[in-house]
Structure 1
Amino acid sequence: MLVKDVMRAPVLSVGPEWTLEDAYKLLLERGIRHLPVVADGRLVGIITDRDIRLATSHLNPKGPCPGCTQVGEVMTKDVITAHPLDPVEEAARVMRERKIGSLPVLEDGSLVGIVTGIDLLDALLKLTGVTEPSGRLEVRLPDRPGELARLTGFLAGKGINIHSLLSYPEDGDFVRAVVRVNTLETHLLAEGLRQEGFEVIWPPKKPW
């Protein structure tokens, strides 16, 4: 799955000359938290609802138009961006490492979309197959060639269709495979897997 598959487009943006008050009203009206800032067709910054709240909290509420500060004075100028063809997991890694909540998406220098943490959560739900009726298996496998193929081969032999398959490494030369399958009878599948020597984490073994 790529950024272009989950990004929001077209993108709502503001200019650096906008006031914080007007930008905040737009955020509230549209139910969003991030606004790219564009000048002369070029991305020059990004501003969030948090930026606006922090900026206005330092202003004298009785002073002359506390919300009239311009976006360009508060926005983040060194914007971290993504490309439409970036993998979603790379976008997630960047956002996690940089501790940011969104990535404007640029293509040939033009702003074509924006991806947020919520968009990446939606992508995770699709990747795990949880949005479709399915059963879940979680199996601990030795980290060596052929083990994953052995698992999928067992399922294919039972006529089970795999909706999604994710794996991640564990300490001690093991990997954890999380599989979504087209049946809710996962306890029967789990018992069959155990009989074949697989270590099934989920569903747990029944006490009877």
Structure 2
Amino acid sequence: MLVEEIMKKEVISLHPNATIAEAHQILQNHPIRHIPIVNADNEIVGIVSDRDVRDASPSILSKQANHSELEHSIDTIMTTPVITIHPLDFVEEVASIFYDQEIACLPVVQKNKLVGIVTEKDMLYTLIQLTGTHVQSSQIEVKVPNKAGILPEVAAIFGNRKINIASVLVYPYKNDKTYKILVFRIQTMNPLPIKEDIEQAGFEVLWPNMGMTP
């Protein structure tokens, strides 16, 4: 899946000379947490979060608050340089950027122009879709040898029962590189018959496990 399929294309942005008060008003009026800062050519030069604006705003509890601080330009509190992504980047690879950099949003840039934005909430929703957990289904985890051709071999067992596979994930098996785990999300509420078929084919089913409480 590509970034262009999940990014928000209507992005609220500000110029560097906009005030902190303007950013504060935007954050109050719209369900967003980040505002990209762009120049006259729509090139991204910084980004401001709701936390940045909050930290720069006078406390409502202080009687000595200096509200003139809100008239400072937004470039005084923006973060720069900005980590950006491209519309044709893969979502799976972008997920690692969110994790490694510990950030909450990524502006999308094409030909040096801001064209969209992806937030951590967008990523989480996309991963839910990719794993198939948003549809009514059951999960089966199968321990298999780590060798070429094993995935279609196991998937054929589902095909024999005409069971639709909503998603497939592959995990390493602990620290043993000779095995891996195939996680199938299948569109049936009774996985026990297919579980028996998989076991009869000589594979170990880790879940569902009748000896464990879900």
TM over 0.5: same fold? yes
CA distance in 1, matches of 2:160, 2:127: 28
Q: What is the 5 A alignment of 1:1-208?
A: 1-40=1-40, 41-56=42-57, 62-170=65-173, 171-173=175-177, 174-205=179-210
Distance 1:130 1:98 in 2: 26
State the TM-score, normalized to the length of structure 2: 0.89
TM-score, length basis structure 1: 0.92
Structure 1: segments with no counterpart, 5+ residues: none
> Do the aligned residues in 1 keep the contact of 2:108 with 2:115 (CA within 8 Å)?
yes
Residue type at the aligned position of 1:42: E
Contact 2:58 2:69 (8 Å CA) reproduced: no
Number of paired residues? 207
Quick one: distance in 2 between partners of 1:55 and 1:140? 53
Task: Please list the CA deviations of residues 89-115 of structure 1 after superposition, one character each: whole Å capped at 9, or x if unmatched.
Answer: 111111211111111001111111000
Instruction: Give the whole-Å Cα distance in 2 for the aligned partners of 1:98 and 1:105.
Output: 16
Structure 1 residue 62: deviation in Å? 2.4
Instruction: Name the CA distance, whole Å, in 1 between partners of 2:85 and 2:52.
Output: 21
Amino acid at match of 1:24: H
Query: Partners in 2 of 1:80 and 1:143 — Cα distance?
Result: 36
Task: Flag the 1:55–1:192 CA change in 2: closer, same or farther, 3 A.
Answer: same
What secondary structure, in the 3-state scheme, does the structure 2 residue paired with 1:51 have? helix
Runs of 4 or more above 4 Å deviation: none
The percent of aligned pairs where both chains have the same amino acid is: 37
